[in-house]
A and B are shown apart, each in its own frame.
Chain A
């Protein structure tokens, strides 16, 4: 039986919000777009499919909304709502740097990277959401990582000095 829109909302809102936050670079816009995803879901026929396929379907909707948002605003992710560099915390500087680096990537590379790293989707799910093959997802994620590694060399070097944990997929919600 297909889940209803409210059940999907409860299960996936945080995941989608995290993805949209990085995809559009602004939390308020991401909140609006997350709402929009579920407005669309409530008007659509929810497919009776496995969890992974439903998740991919939701992210396909979210991705389309993010791309529409970029087209409407004729620009890449909003780099930051903060413009006063002196007033920013160091962590906010890193956040801005991450968003700036993401803005350099192609739309597809950015989306596959974010769906994996921020939303915790698997390659199969990302492939469905972005209309790619899993092999293409694998290559694009790796390519995006190499590019971001160069662009974020300094914050990465700083982050390496802090104890880390090998976290694979993110917890479901």
Chain B
């Protein structure tokens, strides 16, 4: 369904329109009122958005992700190297001294292996 005043919308939107139809629409007070109201409506729809601070959407972080991955690999490599150096410097642990010494009884006999009494 085509509205008589649809041509006013097309005119406002810089879309193709028939001049004769626009003349006809604007020859009526209702058409002229509509034109002004639609301009005011446009200003209302855009008003707050013009005041909205510039969008601070960050760009896709492709570069940042690559840099982060490279840094992680570097840290892992350096960490691995340092851990290896530290381990190679360590001396073998010494066994702790015995806390109790068991003395062999006087009747102790050494039995060669395989000749149990």
Contacts and interface: CB of A to CB of B under 8 A. Distances in A.
Question: Do A and B bind?
Answer: yes
Contacts of B49: 18, 21-22, 118
Given A138-B9, A142-B9, A168-B12, A149 B55 contact: no
Main secondary structure of the interface of B (DSSP, over half): helix
Contact of B15 (A122, A160, A162, A166): A122
B15 A156 contact: no
A39 interface: yes
B55 A95 contact: no
Given A21-B52, A38-B60, A138-B15, A145 B9 contact: yes
Main secondary structure of the interface of A (DSSP, over half): helix
A5 B44 contact: no
Interface string B1-25: 1110110011011110000000000
B41 A156 contact: yes
Nearest to A10: B59
**Size class of B's contact patch?**
35 or more
Interface stretch (A27-35, A49-57, A59-67): A27-35
Interface of A: 5-6, 9-10, 13-14, 17-18, 21-22, 27, 31, 34-35, 38-39, 42, 91-92, 94-95, 98, 113-114, 116-118, 122-123, 138-139, 141-143, 145-146, 148-149, 152, 155-156, 159-160, 162, 164, 166-170
Interface of B: 1-3, 5-6, 9-10, 12-15, 34, 36-49, 51-52, 54-60, 62
